[in-house]
Structure 1
Amino acid sequence: MKFETTRAIPATPAAVFAAFADARRLARWWGPAGFTNTFELCDFRPGGDWVFVMHGPDGANYPNRSRFADIEPDRRITIDHVSEPRFRLTVTLTPLSDWATRVDWEQVFESADLARQIEHIVTPANEQNLDRLTVEVTQEPS
């Protein structure tokens, strides 16, 4: 089962891509609203592993293990979430103008049954993730 969302972000594809490529920045914005991250490993290259814990606003910890399957600078990032629930996330960056990027976020779950069960979580969480990415690429550097 596939979940798709699209967002126009007022930044260049290079600026959006940079928010993925820099582990410090990725840790800052990754995940739904209220979540924080602790990265053990973030090897941002094709075949590189990404191991981290998402800390929920309720205090729960969610271990994650992913692999960067494909990376095309300023164009596409494909991530395989290899821990449960297994899915592939493909983020495609398309320039809309000199100052805006269309971000297509496509998440395909290995198990359609599980995807249906968690759809009520995944759909708003993906939107919140894109909200946080938008803030990351449009805020003034600190």
Structure 2
Amino acid sequence: MSTAPSTDNRTLFTERVLPAPPAAIFGAIANPNQLARWWGPNGFHNSIQAFDFRPGGRWLVTLHGPDGRDYPNEYRFADIAANELVVIEHVTAHWFELSISLAPQDGGTRVGWRQTFADAESCARLAPVCTPGNEQNLDRLAAVLAASG
């Protein structure tokens, strides 16, 4: 795992190598049943209302927090390249674009997780929540992959 500062003050970036092929990780993103099992920070679970996995497709999900609150989110799939890249635009409050890159490495996959906000102020304000949340997303993804493996 490595969390690296970005040269762009609007972007948070982390990456790590997961012991699964790119196709398995891509499948965990493309399959809404798998995605619901790992998306979001620790303690959250999901209800997916709509999932149209194609460029321009809409994804509606409610994150149910450990505090008992519901957090509705709307995303748009901006770009998809099978087993290589998924770009997701968060179109509700706190706009950002999330680019998830997948590259084979050492018998597994290097997963790049790049979250770019509208401006530096938004990035700085949300980084204390998003940075650990992004790492937890990858932890949860790794656990789902291990259980499926």
Q: Please classify the TM superposition score into its range, dividing by the shorter chain length.
A: over 0.9
1:110 Cα deviation from its structure 2 partner? 1.0
RMSD: 1.0
Alignment of 1:22-33 (within 5 A): 22-33=31-42
In 2, Cα distance between equivalents of 1:52 and 1:96: 31
State the match for 2:146 in structure 1: 138
User: Offset at 1:104?
Assistant: 0.3
Partner of 2:130: 122
Q: Which residue of 2 aligns with 1:53?
A: 62
Shift of 1:136: 1.1
How far does the alpha carbon of each residue in 1:96-133 deviate from its partner, in whole angstroms, 9 at most, with x for none? 03x30000000001132122112111100000000001
Q: Distance in 2 between matches of 1:84 and 1:17?
A: 26
Q: Counterparts of 1:119 and 1:55 in 2: how far apart (Å)?
A: 21
Letter in 2 for 1:95: P
The gaps in structure 2 that reach 5 residues or longer are 1-9
Q: Kindly report structure 1 stretches of 4+ aligned residues shifted beyond 6 Å.
A: none
3-state SS, counterpart of residue 58 of structure 1:
coil
CA–CA distance in 1 between the matches of 2:42 and 2:122? 22
The TM-score normalised by the length of structure 1 is 0.95
CA deviation vs aligned residue, 1:60-103 (integer Å, no higher than 9, x gap): 11110000000000000000000011000000000003x30000
Superposed, 1:1-142 pairs within 5 Å as 1-97=10-106, 99-140=107-148
State the AA in 2 paired with 1:62: Y
Cα distance, 1:140 vs. partner? 3.7
Aligned counterparts of 1:112 and 1:31: Cα–Cα separation in 2:
23
Distance in 2 separating the partners of 1:101 and 1:139 = 17
After TM superposition, give the deviation of residue 138 of structure 1 in Å: 1.6
Rounded Cα–Cα distance in structure 2 between residues aligned with 1:5 and 1:32? 15
Structure 1: give runs of 5+ residues left out of the alignment. Answer: none
